[in-house]
């Protein structure tokens, strides 16, 4: 799985940097090409000579090579990589990555990387448990980075607790698992709807909802990582896909979303309807701003929007898979099961607004999945970026 893969190994200034030598050796043995990028303090813990000898490539640390003036392009490096692994990742580097403090080659490379990023923290137990570290790791997770949790054990300080960098053998295993799961959607075309729809009342006002697109874009990134050719039909959101291969078709209203989906669906193998589509739109949107002064309170007459999922369900071929979401506040399971049938879906993902860690705008979600074959799967609260893989894996299971 790792043969021919381009791996950037980011090394920071921690005692666990000695494990990086073993990590390089294991990766190279598996056939990966390893480019080491080390922070200035990383070099205090392990020498570039050791690292370049093991990786077979000069180690990059500074923006320029001092004697030749040669510039190291973090952008090229970021594009070259199939994965970036930061191991060990100190609290300092984790903080810089979380907040975009690009004052060294490692963090600039991280910010330019289009590939998945794995972070293996290593620090003392109190630093690890500090709310600042916890919050920074949560931020990295929300960017789609994969945190390789440190183990508990005796630390460099001789204290016992959580903070030991995961062993190189396990890190390699995690990378192999990651690359092996890339295959299942190769060759598949996937349509994903995301975000809200805005239904215009007049040029300045609309009927909308609280969807941010986080769940839909997490699904798009996960599907692309698993090999799919992904098109997101997206309502107005401020998130963007992390995976450069994901195509985005931006729309505003439910009718525009339907039109865009109808163009993409016939050529798709799978569609996941994650958008929060407004069920109603103003029947007669005003051409100019409805004025407050000197007018009675206006009544907005509504008309029913098309049901996009149900429309795709009507034309679904046997070789296509259609997945819907159900966002419920009451009778959750019953309503989800009803939507599964009425929209001719193969699977429905239920998330409940009763759970404050689920639904709109949160970085986490908690779902129960029902399939048309009668099976169900329950998942605990997880980051949307992780849950996206569970949803797709359940779909292809």
What is the contact surface with ligand PMT in residues (CB under 6 A)?
A: 193, 195, 211-216, 254, 273-277, 279, 305, 307-309, 324-327, 339, 351, 359-361
| Residues 6 or more apart whose Cβ sits within 8 Å of residue 30 | 1, 2, 3, 172, 176
Least separation in angstroms between CB 255 and ligand PMT: 10
| 138 phi/psi in degrees, rounded to 5 | -65, -40
Task: Please answer whether residues 253 and 175 qualify as being in contact, where contact means their C-beta atoms are separated by less than 8 angstroms.
Answer: no
Measured from the CB of residue 198, what is the shortest distance to ligand PMT in angstroms?
A: 13
Nearer to ligand PMT, 112 or 368 (CB): 368
Catalytic residue among 104, 136, 209, 305: 209
Closer of 102 and 353 to ligand PMT (Cβ): 353
CA distance linking residue 34 with residue 55, whole number of Å? 6
Pick the closest to residue 77 from 60, 53, 89, 94 (CA basis).
Answer: 60
CB of 45 to ligand PMT, least distance (A): 40
Please state the closest distance from residue 356 (CB atom) to ligand PMT, in A.
Answer: 13
Return the number of the residue (74 or 214) whose C-beta is nearest ligand PMT.
214
Q: Could you tell me the smallest distance in angstroms from the CB atom of residue 79 to ligand PMT?
A: 28
Residue among 10 and 144 whose Cβ is closer to ligand PMT: 144
Distance CA 195, CA 118 (A): 27
3-class secondary structure, 382: strand
Q: Least distance (Å) from ligand PMT to the CB of residue 346?
A: 12
**Two structure tokens written together for 365:** 């979600």
Which residues, 6 or more positions from 173, have their beta carbon under 8 angstroms from its beta carbon? none
Q: Are 360 and 353 in contact (CB under 8 A)?
A: yes
Distance CA 215, CA 350 (A): 13
Tell me whether residue 52 or residue 243 sits nearer to ligand PMT (CB atom): 243
- The helix (H) or strand (E) run that includes residue 26 is helix 18-29
Structure tokens at 370: 């029902």
- Sign of torsion, CA 15 6 71 98? negative
The SS3 of residue 268 is coil
Which CB atom, from 238 or from 299, has the smaller least distance to ligand PMT?
238
Please indicate whether residue 104 is annotated as part of the active site.
no
Residue 381 C-alpha from the chain's centroid: 16
- Asked if 196 contacts 276 with a C-beta cutoff of 8 angstroms, the reply is yes
Active site residues: 209
């Amino acid at each position: 799985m790792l043969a021919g893969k381009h791996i950037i190994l980011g090394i920071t200034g921690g005692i666990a940097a000695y494990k990086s030598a073993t990590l390089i050796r294991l990766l190279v043995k598996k056939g990966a090409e390893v480019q080491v990028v080390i922070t200035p303090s990383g070099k205090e813990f392990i020498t570039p000579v050791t690292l370049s000898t093991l990786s077979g490539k000069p180690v990059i640390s500074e923006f320029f090579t001092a004697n030749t003036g040669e510039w190291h392009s973090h952008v090229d490096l970021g594009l070259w990589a199939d994965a970036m692994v930061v191991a060990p990742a100190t609290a300092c580097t984790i903080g810089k990555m979380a907040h975009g403090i690009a004052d060294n080659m490692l963090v600039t490379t991280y910010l330019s990387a289009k590939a998945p990023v794995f972070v293996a923290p290593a620090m003392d137990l109190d630093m690890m448990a500090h709310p600042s570290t916890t919050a920074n790791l949560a931020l990295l997770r929300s960017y789609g980075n994969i945190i390789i949790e440190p183990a508990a054990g005796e630390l460099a300080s001789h204290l016992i607790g959580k903070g030991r960098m995961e062993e190189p053998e396990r890190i390699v295993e995690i990378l192999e698992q990651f690359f092996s799961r890339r295959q299942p959607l190769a060759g598949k075309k996937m349509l994903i709807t995301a975000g809200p729809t805005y239904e215009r009342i007049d040029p300045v006002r609309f009927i909308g909802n609280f969807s941010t697109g986080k769940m839909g874009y997490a699904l798009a990134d996960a599907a692309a990582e698993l090999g799919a050719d992904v098109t997101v039909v997206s309502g107005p959101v401020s998130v963007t896909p992390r995976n450069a291969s994901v195509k985005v078709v931006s729309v505003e209203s439910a009718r525009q979303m339907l039109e865009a989906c109808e163009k993409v669906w016939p050529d798709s193998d799978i569609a996941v309807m994650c958008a929060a589509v407004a069920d109603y739109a103003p029947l007669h949107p005003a051409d100019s701003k409805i004025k407050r002064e000197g007018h009675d309170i206006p009544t907005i007459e509504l008309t029913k929007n098309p049901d996009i999922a149900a429309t795709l369900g009507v034309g679904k071929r046997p070789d296509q898979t259609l997945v819907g979401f159900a966002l419920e506040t009451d009778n959750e399971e019953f309503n989800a099961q009803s939507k599964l049938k009425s929209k001719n879906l193969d699977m429905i993902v239920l998330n409940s607004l009763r759970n404050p860690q689920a639904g709109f705008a949160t970085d986490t979600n908690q779902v129960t999945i029902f399939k048309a074959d009668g099976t169900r799967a329950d998942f605990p609260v997880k980051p949307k970026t992780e849950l996206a893989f569970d949803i797709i894996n359940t779909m292809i299971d």
